[in-house]
A and B are shown apart, each in its own frame.
Chain A
Amino acid sequence: DAGITQSPRHKVTETGTPVTLRCHQTENHRYMYWYRQDPGHGLRLIHYSYGVKDTDKGEVSDGYSVSRSKTEDFLLTLESATSSQTSVYFCAISREENQPQHFGDGTRLSIL
């Protein structure tokens, strides 16, 4: 595995509560990404980061925010979780944006 740790691995929470997912890497890669994976949709990019404090939106960014205060950590926050955000969330890293991405093992998030 590429030295990527996601936490928590599983979480169940209620609609309207804030949720933060953490991705930690030990590879010193510049790029970090958050995806969600849902049946019938494959991987969809939420947000990505190209350096400390440098982030940009992906295709499904509404309802999500991110922060990267250190090279090794990329946080994904759901300010007020909704049932439509129930999904499996994957973090990925890459050395540069034209290099293959390597993935963590995901966080299964259920919002009731």
Chain B
Amino acid sequence: GESVGLHLPTLSVQEGDNSIINCAYSNSASDYFIWYKQESGKGPQFIIDIRSNMDKRQGQRVTVLLNKTVKHLSLQIAATQPGDSAVYFCAEILNTGGFKTIFGAGTRLFVKA
């Protein structure tokens, strides 16, 4: 499959452990955040989103935390499975009159069986 990013930060976890993937953003005008998962040879897949008026949102095995004070976003994956191995990246939607989506570079998650 394609090489999404040769120099991405990598997180390696044991199957069954919890994973935490972090993302820093810089723009106070961001009012919507999204996490994507990208497997080798595929397009980015929407996982979960969160509005800026929230600080936590839960999905199935995933939780997103938003700390607006330090402009930090995290994705927590519970009981990580081999199928979770992928590149994860965050995106922010800026509201500056018009809207603009900015994508982060990503973190590669490797799950050891």
Taking Cβ atoms with an 8 Å cutoff, the residues of A that contact B are: 4, 37, 39-43, 88, 90, 92, 97-98, 100-106, 108
Task: Give the residues in chain B near A106, CB-CB below 8 Å.
Answer: 2, 41-43
Taking Cβ atoms with an 8 Å cutoff, the residues of B that contact A are: 2-7, 32, 34, 36, 41-46, 49, 89, 91, 93, 95, 98-99, 101, 103-106
Docked-complex contact B2 and A100, CB < 8 angstroms = no
Docked-complex contact B34 and A40, CB < 8 angstroms = no
How many inter-chain contacts with C-beta < 8 Å in the A-B complex? 53
Taking the closest CB of chain A, its distance from the CB of B79, in whole angstroms, is: 25
Docked-complex contact A39 and B43, CB < 8 angstroms = no
Docked-complex contact A39 and B45, CB < 8 angstroms = no
Docked-complex contact B4 and A103, CB < 8 angstroms = no
Query: Which among B5, B7, B46 is the interface contact of A100 at CB below 8 angstroms?
Result: B46
Task: Give me 10 A-to-B residue pairs in the complex whose CB atoms sit less than 8 angstroms apart, sorted by A's number.
Answer: A42-B5, A42-B104, A42-B106, A97-B99, A101-B91, A101-B101, A102-B46, A103-B36, A106-B41, A106-B43
Q: How far is the CA of A88 from the CA of B46 in the complex (A)?
A: 19
Docked-complex contact B93 and A105, CB < 8 angstroms = no
